[in-house]
């Protein structure tokens, strides 16, 4: 026989349990409706696409018009991010891309062609997004300093989740006073994965003048672009409910490299602004780049960069990057400044990027105009 205090505590625990499971179900429904992957803003339950703090090192995710737009002939890029490691089951994202410039020796126009893949998993549900994309850009020289680009991207995407480690209110067993894995969840009309096609487009402007060398270092490189993702607003179908669609996303970005004359130092500011549904995000900051050695025969030599960015209302991002010949290694770390810092202790996301740019034929990276 259970005495009254014990019975009261058990009833109280039961209602707490029910509330928690109800929150979980609401959360999963919101995830299904909005297609959330990375950097979920807990405070307003809005959704965002996958993106990296080193957005300047993930060009094919940033804007399809950046395909093939770099100083060289081929580019291989990888990115890895682990977010909120202080919370159980952190978000993990891995991306890889390959793109190339076609007809780059043509003085008036060239094409860019690229492929990219990424995988993102998050939380106890292992909610994930796997995507493979094909990107194409057209690039026209307006004069010796300005290039305009337009790009298209088509993707095959698959979203998935696992119910194995999730607990539901129907699995509460009063006789046990808690959760029972042997009881059915009672969830119906749900799917563990679904696939869809996705299309995006973008434009970009590049400006380049001056030289990057120790004698003058008067170079100015600027790019600015805009992109619209999810043009077709694909349906999100984890649950057989109303036909919810993935919000289109508007992206605005820009960056520059400004050489300080007669020094080995350059300033590299950048910004990213996007809006998707009710969510918007602005990241601004700059890095200071120091050239350690000059290159020859198309090699860019070596350099090191240190910088900081601020994602408004969310995190401070500390960055560093090392460039040696055709390779570049980037490292960044997010420090939470939002209300989430109470749960994470300020520990945000660790991010790594690795890039290789190769040149062949008559192409010479040191004479190119791209950022």
Q: 192-219 b/e with 16+ CB inside 10 Å = b?
A: eeeebebbbbbbbbbbbebebbeeebeb
Q: How confident is the model at residue 271 (pLDDT cuts 50, 70, 90)?
A: very high
Q: What is the tens place of the pLDDT at every residue in 112-122?
A: 999 999 998 77
Decide if 48 contacts 248 (C-beta within 8 A). no
Tell me: pLDDT of 353 over 70. Answer: yes
Task: Output the pLDDT for position 226.
Answer: 98
Q: Which of 206-220, 236-250, 351-365 is the most confident on average? A: 206-220
Q: What is the tens place of the pLDDT at every residue in 92-140?
A: 899 999 999 999 888 899 999 999 999 987 766 667 889 999 999 999 9
Task: Output the pLDDT for position 101.
Answer: 93
Query: If you average pLDDT over every residue of the chain, what do you get?
Result: 80
Task: Output the pLDDT for position 39.
Answer: 37
Give the domain ranges of the chain: 4-174+188-367
Task: Output the pLDDT for position 338.
Answer: 80
Q: What is the tens place of the pLDDT at every residue in 285-340?
A: 999 999 998 755 444 689 999 999 999 988 999 999 999 989 999 999 999 888 76
Q: What is the mean pLDDT of residues 341-347?
A: 63
Tell me: pLDDT of 157 over 90. Answer: yes
How would CATH label the architecture of 4-174+188-367?
Answer: Beta Barrel (2.40)
Q: What is the tens place of the pLDDT at every residue in 158-191?
A: 988 776 666 666 667 666 666 666 666 656 545 5
Q: How confident is the model at residue 9 (pLDDT cuts 50, 70, 90)?
A: very low
């Amino acid at each position: 026989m259970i005495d009254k205090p014990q019975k009261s505590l058990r009833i109280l625990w039961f209602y707490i349990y029910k509330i928690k499971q109800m929150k979980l179900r609401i959360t999963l429904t919101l995830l299904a409706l909005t297609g959330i992957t990375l950097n979920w803003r807990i405070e307003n339950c809005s959704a965002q696409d996958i993106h990296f703090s080193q957005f300047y090192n993930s060009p094919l995710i940033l804007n399809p018009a950046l395909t093939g737009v770099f100083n060289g002939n081929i580019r291989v890029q990888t990115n890895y991010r682990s977010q909120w490691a202080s919370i159980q089951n952190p978000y993990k994202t891995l991306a890889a891309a390959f793109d190339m410039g076609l007809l780059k020796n043509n003085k008036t126009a060239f094409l860019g062609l690229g492929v990219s893949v990424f995988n993102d998993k998050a939380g106890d549900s292992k909610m994930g997004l796997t995507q493979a994309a094909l990107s194409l850009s057209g690039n026209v020289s307006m004069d010796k300093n300005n290039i305009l680009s337009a790009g298209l991207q088509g993707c095959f995407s698959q979203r998935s989740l696992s119910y194995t480690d999730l607990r539901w209110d129907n699995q509460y067993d009063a006789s046990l006073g808690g959760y029972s894995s042997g009881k059915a969840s009672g969830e119906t009309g749900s799917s563990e994965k679904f696939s869809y096609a996705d299309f995006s487009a973008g434009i970009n402007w590049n400006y380049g003048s001056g030289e990057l060398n120790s004698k003058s270092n008067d170079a100015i490189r600027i790019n600015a672009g805009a992109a619209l993702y999810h043009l077709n607003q694909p349906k999100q179908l984890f649950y057989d409910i109303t036909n919810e669609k993935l919000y289109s996303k508007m992206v605005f970005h820009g960056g520059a490299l400004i050489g300080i004359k007669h020094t080995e130092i350059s300033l590299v500011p950048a910004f990213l602004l996007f809006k998707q549904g009710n969510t918007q995000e602005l990241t601004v900051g700059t890095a200071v780049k120091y050239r350690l050695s000059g290159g020859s025969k198309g090699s860019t030599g070596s350099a090191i960069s240190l910088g900081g960015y601020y994602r408004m209302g969310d995190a401070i991002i500390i960055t560093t990057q090392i460039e040696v010949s055709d390779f570049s290694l980037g490292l960044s770390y997010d420090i939470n400044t939002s209300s989430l810092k109470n749960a994470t202790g300020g520990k945000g996301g660790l991010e790594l990027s690795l890039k290789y740019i190769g040149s062949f034929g008559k192409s010479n990276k040191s004479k190119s105009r791209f950022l």
